[in-house]
Amino acid sequence: MLAETITLNVPTTLAKELSVVSQTFLLDILERGLRDYKIERALEQYLGGKMSFGAAAQQAGVSQTELAQCAYAKGMQPPFSSQTVEEELSYVNRSQ
């Protein structure tokens, strides 16, 4: 994996907390936060009528099913495409 060093100014209290965790943990936090941010942004654009649900999922880098699950968690009622229904049924069948 290629890597680059970045410098980031954070509040002192946060810096103290982060100083005792591993680099792997910090990378995990950053990756999760960026993923969540992309999903939030995509849902906002979908709700604002700026893009379709499928385009929003693509922009966020997740499947329509995963975006629908995130939308439901936020109280939204996303549309169901045939692809989303198939993915949901496939997931249900695998977990049985």
- The C-alpha angle with vertex 86 and arms to 43 and 88, in degrees rounded to 5, equals 60
Q: Which residues contact 71 (CB under 8 A, 6 or more apart)?
A: 43, 77, 78
Q: Is this prediction's pTM over 0.85?
A: no
How large a percentage of the chain has pLDDT more than 90?
54
| Each residue's pLDDT tens digit, 25-83 | 999 999 999 999 999 999 999 999 999 988 999 999 999 889 989 998 998 887 766 66
Sketch the domain layout of the chain as residue ranges: 21-95
